Amino acid sequence: MYSHGQNEQQVVWVVVDTAIGPLLLAATHAGLVNVVFHATDTVRDKALDRLASRLGSEPVEAPDSPLLAEAIRQLTGYFAGERHDFELPLDWSLISGFNRQVLRELASGVPYGAVVGYGDLAGRVGQPRAAQAVGVAMGSNPLPVVVPCHRVVESDGGIGGFGGGLETKRKLLALEGVLPEPLF
């Protein structure tokens, strides 16, 4: 499934409308590689330029791509409240080291409807004093929603930060039953 050069990999993408706004989904032959919030034209174009630079291949819009069809199906089920777990192949090539370790632990160890503190997550990967570094890992998550960084909160009960914006984080946590639905 490689395109032009031997070191290039095909990157396909689509923008899908969701309950939290448009999401850009991008995939390689290895799996879903990127999810981008608030995928307006400007945000989308910046994300695609970044992917081209990082992956060495110009992303191709492919709304009917089999690589993306299952991700779209599962995200649709998630936002409809019908799916609690994602079972997708993930391409982790946009992240490495400690950040990848933390995100893999988050993906496998913090289920739908649960939350974890930054410090607790740091402890789970053997770095109990690395709460701030966990925050950095959450901010660099290339696969939000699917790798649920919205489930990481402050130990004092605060919601914490979120790359997709606090309103998006609240909506995701409300969808999962962690927070009440907003009244308006």
d(CA 32, CA 105): 17
CA atoms within 13 A on the CB side of 24: 27
- The active-site residue out of 33, 149, 153, 172 is 149
Report yes or no: 24 and 39 within 8 Å, Cβ to Cβ.
yes
Whether 171 is catalytic is no
Distance CA 159, CA 94 (A): 26
- Give the whole-angstrom CA distance, residue 36 versus residue 144: 7
Q: Which sign does the torsion angle of CA 45, 48, 54, 59 carry? A: negative
Cβ-based burial of 144 (10 A; exposed 0-12, middle 13-18, buried ≥19): buried
User: What residues are annotated to the active site?
Assistant: 149
